[in-house]
Structure 1
Amino acid sequence: MAHRLEQLIVRRTLRLPSPTGPSGDGSVAARQFDAALMSVGFKLSARLLERLSGLSEGTVVDTAVRTLGTVRETVGDHVRHNVYFVDFPANVPDTFDFWMRCVTEALADDTARESTLARLRTGVLDLLALPSYGTYRHTYAEMLAAHDELVAAAGDRVTVLHLGGALDDEVTALYLALAGSSTPLGDEGLTDLETLAGACVAGPQPEAIPVRENRAVVNRARLRAGADLLLDTVTDVLRLACALSDGDVTLQEPTRFRALPRPVRRALLAGLDAVVEASPAKSADVHAHREAFKRLGERLHPHEYPRWPHAAEVFAVARGEKRARSFDSRVEELLGAGDVTGAVALLKSAPGRLLRALDRLLRTAGTEEERDAVAAAAEEVAPRVSGRVVLAVREHLHNRAGEKGGPGERRVFVNRLGRAWVAPDGRAPLPAPACRRLISAFDAEVGRRLPEPGHLLIDPAVLDVALPLSGRATTAGLGVLPRGSVSAVEGGLLRFFVYWKQTGRSTDYDLSALVLDSGYRTVTWLSYTALRDVEGTHSGDITDAPDGASEFIDLRLDAVRGDFIVPQVNIYSGEGFEEVEESFFGFMLREAEQRGRPFEPRTVRMKSDLRGPGRVALPLVFVRGDDGRWHAKWLHLYLKGHPSANRVEGNRVSVAALLRGIVDREHLTVRHLTGLLAGRATAVTSWDGEKVPDGPVTYIGLERPEGLHPDSRVLTPENLRDLIPA
């Protein structure tokens, strides 16, 4: 368990818990460890190297083996990345010539000749029926032998591993940070929180767990340890039941509840009873998840426990046997009658709901007086709303104030799972004066809550990173930034990669890249149907992955004729992204003279897991700026696609429509909060990558610099959520 926790800390914080063991001269082993790390784009900090050097050689070697395995998996180097065309990116054939070669080989094969001729007589070429198509024609070792060594370059990625504190201290600190996070965590974050909660159930606990999904995961650990549950709504109990059945604690997807042991049933029913007894009105929350409560009641058997009558009432409401009027129905009744003022007065008792309803309230208000009442109410309740919600509504108003609205406009929807779609937008535009008033009020409220940072040290590269208002706006991996973030792309060659390994049935993922012009019109694409073009080359189509498979696309940025490069992963057949044993996407940057293998971990700038709904993944888009330089804008989106045979040619229109709405949207970034923080700082310094100040600072950047004062507060993408005020 200790080793698992150590790996979790390294992966999430890039800190190695202070190694323990007998003293000795481990300097040689430590330098060898550092060299091995550098081969995959990592290195030891000076303090960590010093610490390891004072331990025995055996301790250093054991630590190195564990840590190397963790960082190799983080960057995607824990698997073998082969390519169909052994010399890729060199000597990739023309698509038609390659297909004809596969046909010729099939006709020369006695076992395939007749079936191939029969298909050709129908006028249809079935690539999957050709014996030499879609499977590797050489071993991994043969592919390695065909490539020169990578030439080191100054632009290669170097990620520093820092020395952490004692393992128990690191585990506790990370648990408190995740459990007490003011923003929802992604799937990996919830999994990690569960592991940490189990290890920390008897230790310090956060003052509050504001995110309900986080509370469900913590409650599961507490239930298993026999500790008191943290419940204040009936929905908390439902989420906990979902967690106990390994279901969806976000309640977005239905959970199939398992048969629960009697002690667990008693704990859930007692929790429900206590919540409703303390506040009978909370039973109205059942309506939002009525079917789920009905199914849960079938598992809990509340009729067997007459000592908890209030719990039985909850399920009676779910079955429609007892009436409990919901808050939302009362709001809808008032708005339906045109009573905006009355609806606002009621919503003031639920501040978060009032802010989330601002768009509708402002559109429904028919007079200036009503709009003033809406704005005044929002200003009044804002201090009682979480910082995450205040910032999210502020971002929404900023974008709505610049929209035309009305017939003919399109609206992009993205749900909590990353599923995206486009629909007509019939909303009327919002009044600009009201938007400006509320934006100013929200900025003042957020600024009031921010801490005094002291000396503020800012890495300019982090300023265009979107605020992580939800952990579901990103994915697990290396160098991954929240949806809407913009980061510079430096290098002559851009190389995408995808890896997948099927669990049970034949699975074919297709890596493609769509190039669009400034009007979002198709210029060209690279895929298994277009292996070569002016822009670059495709590594070849792999159609089955029982042992894992990889595909690559190599692009010369100076040759790209469009303004947008849209990498995508299409599921042609087989298992979905959430069904395969493993799947991930990433990109590398390198210079032409570096050469090297198709996959070089030192050049990997981003690697993210593919775990989402839909059959088409859109991880990010590359955008050419007015100055000719390229930038990446992070998407983390999934399109529904078709059950099979998804191809880049078939989704060009939907991708272009989606991008038009996403690329132009302005997300709140770190720049916004640092601007508010600057007014409370004793000094503000832009970090130049060289010398750091001598005293404590609040550092905000992409990576933690070496040499910071030990009392400094450090905010990087790994913990940027801590920048969001409570």
Structure 2
Amino acid sequence: MSHRLEPLVIRHTHRLPAPSGPVGQGGVAARQFDAALMSVGFKLSAALLERLSGLTEEAVVATAARTLETVREMVGDHVRHNAYFIDFPAHVPDTFEFWMQCITEALVDDTSRDGTLTQLRSGIVDLLTLPSYGNYQHAYAEMLAAHDELIPATGDRTTVLHLGDSADTEVTALYLALAGSTTPLGTEGLRDLAVLAGHCVEGPQPDEIPVRENRAVINVARLGAGADLLVDTVTDVLRLACALSDGDMTLVAPTRLRSLPRRTRRALLAALDSVVAGAPDKLGDVTAHREAFKRLGERLHPHEFPRWPRAAEVFAVARGELKAPSFDSRVEALLRTHDITGAARLLTAAPGKLFRSLDRLLRTCLTQDERDAVVAAAEQVAPRVSARVLLSVREHLHNRARESDERRVFVNRLGRAQVTDDVRPPVPEAERMRLIAALDTEMRRRLPVPGRLLIDPDILDVALPLSGKATTAGLGVLPRGSLSPVDGDLLRFFVHWKQTERSTDYDLSALMLNASYETVVWLSYTALTSVEGEHSGDITNAPDGASEFINLRLDAVRGTFIVPQVNIFSGEGFEEAEESIFGFMLRDAEQRGRPFEPRTVRMKSELRGPGRVALPLAFVRGNDGRWRAKWLHLYLRGNPAWNRVEENRVSVATLVRGVVERDYLTVRYLIELMEEGATGTALWDGTTVPDGPVTYIGLERPDGLHPDSLVITPENLRALIPG
């Protein structure tokens, strides 16, 4: 295996494939490597340090160079984080005084004096026309010289890199884990899966690929290698065509399908023919994506391949020349005649659809017999429904106990959110509780026998990753709805972006809300200072990359919620920019240091959403006075330009309330079910490692666990959800 796949293993598993090379005396170089890692918040495990120490110095140095490059990017230290105010957070000026200073400097500049005077006479001055506004006034090295060294603290983040198996073994294991994931992957996960699938196409394959988007990515690699395609529905072929066109494999957004080589057209038509020949009723799936199948027919030219006549039927259905009632239309026909019992009976042929329809069916029932029929049908097919759907319905039913006049928050697969009034009638309480009990019983049956459980208490409130589609990759990133502890005196946000072509201005802001979700105060480029903290200054152009920071003293924050946000004021969107990242750091008050210190970074993620306002997470003060992070992963549509925190306060507060007040299914739920079959359960105290193998579930893998232990951390939390 070439070293190009090593970063994928490190990012996804925090394991370094077993370093290889000539035997030697590499102990000194290994300790130097460990020290360099510690400067960015990482550390070698004891086993990995021992392995490296037995290699030559040259082999250790080569491994260190590759690994340091990877981990620095993981934490956001691969770029230069400058700040507009050179000694931020010290001496940040009052906003109005700063603006007046910029105007004064413009008046003594020969190139800007006349234009500034003209603006002053009109009564409105555009800050962007002032020479000293929005652009760094000092070099990065000058900023570094203005700051003291960071004082190490026990609370600094330490992420251990563990010794992995051979490179080929680690790559294969990662491929099988991603390909066989029971929950959808995010954009970055699918991208990495595509790379791994190309490398592993001729090696071991997962027993099942339950997520259809994963199957499409793998089929692209199999098509390139001339291997058989993995398809069992006509929609699988459509997803593959979208993947080949770099389009939307979820089929939510339209894809402009590309013209395909004759060899590829043959393969897709043969796959369609095989599916329809084996199960003619699957032609009913065509109508759900009629227009997309019409476009696919135009690209595949089925008339050129008469040897596959059943494939041509797919496009005949799409054009309306051949009738093939869809399953959904048959269900809707029964519901229109109020045959709820008949609809439930029909839906048992599609168990997942039945479970997704339970709320609607129960709200529609008029008699107890109908309600009993719906619940009985669900209980009958529950063993054939994926765990992800069961858990999603379990979470939904739990939250349906709320009053029906509350607001509903809808979040699409890309993280774009909207809020509406909830006008649904309630789900009957007896049936709701009966279904919850049935779901708990089914999940308990599916969970593996864990043996001895070792639990990190900090993971108990992490939400189950029922979908990764709207969750960006990064260090310390948790699923939407998760709660994680925040320990430290200072909370510091950072955003970094680098434009691709156009001048681009991102604005980092922080909104403070009270317990009623009303605005208390905010920090932004229009409010540089407050009792709570400081803003590092506005940067309005990023051809070489730019950073902004907000520094908060947690004991001074007025209010219950802190909501950082990134607003696109002008220029390229998050998905257009060459790079756009967000994160936060935690420090003790006396640590000092530069604006960006990698070892204090607790979270860093990519900003890659569709809106113009990003809401990565919020911070919530509990009744005990402690702060916790609540993960949002949301994007607001915003305006095409000039988005500001002042103008989106109400919509942000509404979305935050919707996520904060929703009860998410967490790791705690599954652990409580698993404990019934465990031989013992202990809470990880951060120091004592058991002698024998355990099932460990926590935020970080402890060093020194028995090699036969099953380890679940956020990097592979998907593995906690059974098939």
Q: TM-score range by the shorter chain?
A: over 0.9
Per the alignment, residue 690 of structure 1 pairs with 687
Residues in 2 aligned to 1:128 and 1:293: alpha-carbon distance in whole angstroms: 49
Q: Say yes or no: does 1:82 pair with 2:82.
A: yes
Q: Say yes or no: does 1:519 pair with 2:516.
A: yes
Deviations 1:679-718 (A, max 9, x none): 0111111111111111111111111111111111100000
Letter in 1 for 2:641: S
Letter in 2 for 1:25: Q
Letter in 2 for 1:28: V
Deviations 1:235-286 (A, max 9, x none): 1001111111122212222222122111001000110111011111111111
Per the alignment, residue 404 of structure 2 pairs with 405
Deviation at 1:81, TM superposition (A): 0.1
Deviation at 1:144, TM superposition (A): 0.2
Per the alignment, residue 150 of structure 1 pairs with 150
Residues in 2 aligned to 1:202 and 1:334: alpha-carbon distance in whole angstroms: 47
**Which one of 625, 629, 640 corresponds to residue 626 of structure 2?**
629
Deviations 1:276-301 (A, max 9, x none): 11111111111222222111211111
Per the alignment, residue 193 of structure 1 pairs with 193
Per the alignment, residue 23 of structure 2 pairs with 23
Q: How does 1:351-366 map to 2 (within 5 A)?
A: 351-366=351-366
- The ranges of structure 1 where at least 4 consecutive aligned residues each deviate by more than 3 angstroms after the TM superposition are none
Residues in 2 aligned to 1:154 and 1:424: alpha-carbon distance in whole angstroms: 47
Residues in 2 aligned to 1:129 and 1:423: alpha-carbon distance in whole angstroms: 41
Letter in 2 for 1:405: S
Q: Say yes or no: does 1:287 pair with 2:287.
A: yes
SS at match of 1:593: coil
Residues in 1 aligned to 2:626 and 2:235: alpha-carbon distance in whole angstroms: 49
Unaligned runs of 5+ in 2: none
Per the alignment, residue 610 of structure 1 pairs with 607
Residues in 2 aligned to 1:14 and 1:117: alpha-carbon distance in whole angstroms: 58
Per the alignment, residue 599 of structure 1 pairs with 596
SS at match of 2:662: coil
> TM-score scaled by structure 1?
0.99
Residues in 2 aligned to 1:2 and 1:473: alpha-carbon distance in whole angstroms: 31
Q: Say yes or no: does 1:563 pair with 2:560.
A: yes
Deviation at 1:91, TM superposition (A): 0.5
Q: How many residues of Structure 1 are paired with residues of Structure 2 in the alignment?
A: 723
Residues in 2 aligned to 1:564 and 1:305: alpha-carbon distance in whole angstroms: 62
Residues in 2 aligned to 1:84 and 1:674: alpha-carbon distance in whole angstroms: 47
Per the alignment, residue 48 of structure 1 pairs with 48
Letter in 2 for 1:41: G
Residues in 2 aligned to 1:252 and 1:504: alpha-carbon distance in whole angstroms: 29
Residues in 1 aligned to 2:142 and 2:453: alpha-carbon distance in whole angstroms: 52
Residues in 1 aligned to 2:388 and 2:248: alpha-carbon distance in whole angstroms: 22
**Which one of 525, 531, 534 corresponds to residue 528 of structure 1?**
525
Per the alignment, residue 415 of structure 1 pairs with 412
Per the alignment, residue 657 of structure 2 pairs with 660
Residues in 1 aligned to 2:300 and 2:69: alpha-carbon distance in whole angstroms: 43
Q: How does 1:105-254 map to 2 (within 5 A)?
A: 105-254=105-254
SS at match of 1:135: coil
Deviation at 1:473, TM superposition (A): 4.4
Per the alignment, residue 263 of structure 2 pairs with 263
Residues in 2 aligned to 1:252 and 1:28: alpha-carbon distance in whole angstroms: 55
Q: How does 1:292-311 map to 2 (within 5 A)?
A: 292-311=292-311
Letter in 2 for 1:625: G
Per the alignment, residue 453 of structure 2 pairs with 456
Residues in 2 aligned to 1:333 and 1:218: alpha-carbon distance in whole angstroms: 37
SS at match of 1:594: coil
Per the alignment, residue 504 of structure 2 pairs with 507
Residues in 2 aligned to 1:617 and 1:251: alpha-carbon distance in whole angstroms: 24
Deviations 1:281-327 (A, max 9, x none): 11111122222211121111111111111111111222222221111
Residues in 2 aligned to 1:472 and 1:385: alpha-carbon distance in whole angstroms: 20
Deviation at 1:105, TM superposition (A): 0.9
Q: How does 1:567-578 map to 2 (within 5 A)?
A: 567-578=564-575
Residues in 1 aligned to 2:521 and 2:286: alpha-carbon distance in whole angstroms: 51
Deviation at 1:4, TM superposition (A): 1.3
Letter in 1 for 2:689: V
SS at match of 1:504: coil
Per the alignment, residue 277 of structure 2 pairs with 277
CA root-mean-square deviation: 0.9
Per the alignment, residue 39 of structure 2 pairs with 39
Q: More deviation in 119-128 or 412-421?
A: 119-128
Per the alignment, residue 550 of structure 2 pairs with 553
Residues in 1 aligned to 2:329 and 2:600: alpha-carbon distance in whole angstroms: 55
> TM-score scaled by structure 2?
0.99
Deviations 1:560-594 (A, max 9, x none): 01100000000011110111011110000001100
Deviation at 1:474, TM superposition (A): 2.0
Q: More deviation in 20-29 or 417-426?
A: 417-426
Per the alignment, residue 13 of structure 1 pairs with 13
Residues in 2 aligned to 1:441 and 1:425: alpha-carbon distance in whole angstroms: 26
Q: More deviation in 644-653 or 464-473?
A: 464-473
Deviations 1:380-424 (A, max 9, x none): 1110000110001000000012x2115xx3211001111101112
Residues in 2 aligned to 1:128 and 1:6: alpha-carbon distance in whole angstroms: 44
SS at match of 1:592: coil
Per the alignment, residue 489 of structure 2 pairs with 492
SS at match of 2:252: coil
Per the alignment, residue 676 of structure 2 pairs with 679
Deviation at 1:364, TM superposition (A): 0.5
Q: More deviation in 143-152 or 272-281?
A: 272-281
Residues in 2 aligned to 1:293 and 1:138: alpha-carbon distance in whole angstroms: 57
Per the alignment, residue 101 of structure 1 pairs with 101
Deviations 1:1-25 (A, max 9, x none): 6111111101110000001110000
Deviation at 1:368, TM superposition (A): 1.7
